[in-house]
């Protein structure tokens, strides 16, 4: 029975949800909060925190405070013996017969699980059915990755008739960095992607290139596909404004032309990964630092090095160990403290992996600050479309060291010359990318789907049988 006044009961399958700090968390957290704010009942199905503690070793407890208390969160354990890294937590089978365990895991992943997280699906499906019995779900939205979790809403619809929507933040079967298929021919991922796409009510992607690729790959489902882009959270921008105001009132406040060194503070906020063009970027920074103009400039890096843990491959390429480069890694920053990081930067540095399918989520926050941005990415990168008309963008013409250095030097000059009018224009441009505004069409679509009566599959079969009988 639907609660009086409710627009419907939405189930969100989001493997990564607070306290995880994975990039997709912010999208699903914002969607869940917006749904309850606009009259929906929301149940989130996610993994238990021990996965983030033992496997990814990556979490942000401050994100838990951002979950609207009206949201019900169902945390389902992931059988993860195959993912454990500490011998003390190995099972008897893995501890005594490691090679047998490895082979069994490989076979299960290739034929049943679809990916290394597929062992989560049976428990997920059971919990969805249990929740549905207590308070019927009207629609389910599942977000990938992992994409094995798409199995659950497909099976759930077969069992209950409840429709589902898929939110593909990246791609299941396309390698975003090579533009090639991610699996060998005949892999079950292709079967399941086609199967889940066929039965979905709506399929969302985060940018136009991803949408276009999937429409070409699945033309029969092309009319179901749409773009629901990422965006920035108003709460972050509001806290950023407060942080900047407090800094301006402090006796330690400084501008790019004042303070202890007088140098412009360049900065990057976000996860640094091995897919980004670090060698080119830091070669350009070293070259820029040779200029007297840049002698006092500093580079400040805030965030994780690698998606999980600390990537030595990324750490080793950064110029943090050379005191002449004035480059400092300040470490990870919790979401609740991110405003202070932005407030401590004069010029933001946008470093993006070379892929037409990748739009960095941080680009939206960068623009919302109204600060100058140095764009260090290839022209065919998806982020180029987002930043192209940003009023305070300084885009490197190429990733050659000389062009990167010139971009840094131009941004250094711009930092001294930005006017309040330019800053307001930059923030006004960013407003179109506010996250709730981006999500509004999706929320309306979920409302339309939730309003339809759910036909249990057995009633549908009975109705079809009656029609066939009367026809005879």
* Contact yes or no for 18/66 (Cβ under 8 A): yes
Which pLDDT score is estimated for 62?
85
Mean pLDDT taken over the chain: 87
Pairing of strands 225-227, 265-269: unpaired
Could you give the count of Cα atoms lying within 13 Å of 54 in the half-sphere of its Cβ?
A: 19
Query: What is the b/e burial string over 105-116, where b = at least 16 CB atoms within 10 angstroms of the residue's CB?
Result: beeebeeebbbb
Given a cut of 90, whether residue 201 has pLDDT beyond it is: yes
* Structure confidence at residue 464 (pLDDT): 47
Q: How many CB atoms lie within 10 A of CB 385?
A: 15
Please say whether the beta carbons of 375 and 396 come within 8 A: yes
CA distance 230 to 233: 10
pLDDT band at 234 (very low <50, low <70, confident <90, very high): confident
Residues 99, 372 contacting (CB under 8 angstroms): no
CA 267/CA 19 separation, integer angstroms:
26
Q: What is the mean pLDDT of residues 447-461?
A: 84
Q: How many CB atoms lie within 10 A of CB 471?
A: 6
Q: What does DSSP assign to residue 2?
A: P
Unique residue bearing structure tokens 């939405």: 10
Whether the bond between 205 and the residue before it is cis, its omega within 30 degrees of 0, is: no
Residue 459 neighbours by CB distance under 10 Å: 11
> What pLDDT sits at residue 14?
97
- Say how far apart CA 194 and CA 187 lie, in whole Å: 12
* Percent of the chain residues topping a pLDDT of 90: 63
Please state the φ and ψ torsions of residue 59, each to the nearest 5 degrees.
Answer: -155, 165
Helices (H), 267-400: 278-289, 312-315, 338-343, 362-368, 382-387
Q: How far apart are CA 138 and CA 149, in angstroms?
A: 19
Q: Per-residue pLDDT tens for 175-188?
A: 998 899 999 998 99
CA distance 126 to 76: 10
252 SS3 class: coil
pLDDT of residue 254: 43
Structure tokens at 179: 């533009």
Q: Please give the radius of gyration of the chain, using alpha carbons only, rounded to the nearest integer.
A: 24
Please count the helices (runs of H) and the strands (runs of E) in the chain.
Answer: 18, 15
**Burial category of 436 from C-beta neighbours within 10 Å (exposed 0-12, middle 13-18, buried 19 and up):** middle
Write down all domains in the chain, each with its CATH number in brackets: 9-231+435-466 (3.40.50.2000), 234-433 (3.40.50.2000)
Cβ atoms < 10 Å from Cβ of 226:
13
Partner residues linked to 225 by β-bridges: 203
Q: Is residue 241 predicted with pLDDT exceeding 60? A: no
Tell me whether residue 453 is exposed, middle or buried, using C-beta atoms within 10 angstroms of its C-beta: 0 to 12, 13 to 18, 19 or more. Answer: exposed
The pTM score is: 0.85
Sequence-distant (≥ 6) Cβ neighbours of residue 382 within 8 angstroms: 207, 208, 209, 355, 356, 357, 358, 359
Q: What is the pLDDT of residue 463?
A: 52
Q: Which of 371-375, 408-412, 448-452, 463-467 has the lowest mean pLDDT?
A: 463-467
Q: 357 or 249: which carries more pLDDT confidence? A: 357
Contact 167, 204 (CB under 8 A): yes
Does the structure show a pLDDT above 70 at 308? no
Q: Is the peptide bond before 145 cis (omega within 30 degrees of 0)?
A: yes
Query: What is the DSSP code (8-state) at residue 348?
Result: E
Query: End-to-end distance of the chain based on CA atoms, in angstroms?
Result: 38
Tokens of 43: 């149940």
Residue 202: other Cβ atoms inside 10 A:
21
Which secondary structure element, helix H or strand E, spans residue 365, and what is its range? helix 362-368
3-state helix, strand, coil in the chain (%, to 5): 50, 15, 35
Lowest mean pLDDT among 129-143, 312-326, 383-397: 312-326
Question: Rounded to an integer, what is the distance from CA 435 to the centroid of its chain?
Answer: 12
CB-CB neighbours of 55 under 10 Å: 17
**Rounded CA separation 12/306 (Å):** 27
Tokens of 176: 């975003």
Res. 56 pLDDT band, cuts 50 70 90: confident
- Report the Cα 21 to chain-centroid distance in Å: 9
Q: Exposed/middle/buried for 197, CB within 10 Å: 0-12, 13-18, 19+?
A: buried
Whole-number pLDDT of residue 307: 66
**Least confident window among 15-24, 46-55, 91-100, 265-274:** 91-100
- Which tokens in the block code for residue 114? 């679809």
Q: Is the pLDDT of residue 243 over 60?
A: no
Q: Is the pLDDT of residue 73 over 70?
A: yes
State phi, psi for 375 to the nearest 5 degrees: -95, 110
């Amino acid at each position: 029975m639907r609660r009086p006044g409710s627009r419907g009961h939405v189930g969100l399958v989001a493997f990564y949800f607070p306290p995880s700090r994975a990039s997709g968390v912010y999208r699903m957290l914002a969607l869940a909060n917006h749904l309850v704010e606009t009259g929906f009942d929301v149940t989130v199905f996610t993994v238990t925190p021990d996965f983030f503690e033992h496997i990814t070793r990556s979490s942000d407890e401050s994100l838990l405070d951002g979950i609207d208390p009206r949201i019900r969160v169902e945390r389902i354990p992931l059988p993860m013996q195959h993912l454990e890294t500490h011998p003390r937590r190995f099972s008897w089978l893995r501890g005594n017969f490691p090679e047998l365990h490895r082979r069994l895991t490989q076979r299960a992943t290739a034929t049943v699980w679809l990916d290394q997280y597929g062992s989560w699906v049976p428990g997920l499906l059971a919990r969805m059915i249990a929740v549905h019995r207590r308070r019927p779900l009207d629609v389910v939205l599942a977000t990938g990755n992992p994409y094995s979790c798409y199995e659950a809403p497909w099976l759930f619809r077969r069992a209950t008739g409840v429709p589902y929507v898929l939110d593909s933040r990246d791609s299941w079967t396309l390698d975003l960095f090579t533009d090639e298929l991610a699996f060998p021919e005949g892999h079950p991922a292709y079967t399941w992607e086609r199967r889940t796409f066929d039965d979905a009510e709506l399929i969302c992607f985060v940018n136009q290139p991803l949408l276009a690729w999937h429409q070409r790959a699945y033309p029969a489902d092309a009319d179901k596909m749409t773009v629901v882009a990422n965006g920035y959270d108003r709460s972050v921008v509001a806290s950023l404004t407060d942080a900047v105001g407090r800094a301006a009132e402090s006796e330690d406040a400084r501008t790019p032309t004042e303070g202890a060194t007088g140098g412009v503070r360049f900065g990057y906020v976000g996860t640094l990964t091995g897919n980004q063009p670090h060698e080119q970027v830091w070669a350009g920074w070293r070259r820029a630092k040779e200029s007297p103009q840049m002698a006092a400039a500093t580079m400040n890096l805030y965030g994780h090095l690698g998606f999980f843990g600390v990537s030595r491959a990324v750490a080793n390429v950064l110029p943090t160990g050379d005191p002449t480069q004035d480059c400092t890694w300040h470490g990870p920053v919790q979401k609740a403290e991110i405003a202070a990081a932005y407030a401590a930067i004069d010029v933001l540095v946008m470093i993006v992996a070379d892929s037409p399918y990748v739009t960095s989520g941080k680009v939206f926050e960068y623009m919302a600050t109204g600060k100058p941005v140095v764009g260090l990415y290839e022209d065919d990168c998806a982020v180029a479309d987002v930043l192209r008309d940003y009023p305070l963008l300084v885009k490197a013409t190429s990733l050659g060291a000389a062009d990167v250095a010139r971009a840094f030097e131009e941004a250094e000059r711009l930092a001294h010359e930005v006017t309040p009018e330019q800053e307001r224009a930059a923030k006004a441009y960013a407003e179109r990318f506010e996250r709730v505004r981006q999500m509004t069409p999706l929320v309306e679509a979920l409302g339309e789907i939730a309003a339809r009566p759910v036909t249990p599959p057995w009633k549908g079969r009975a109705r079809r049988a009656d029609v066939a009988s009367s026809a005879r």
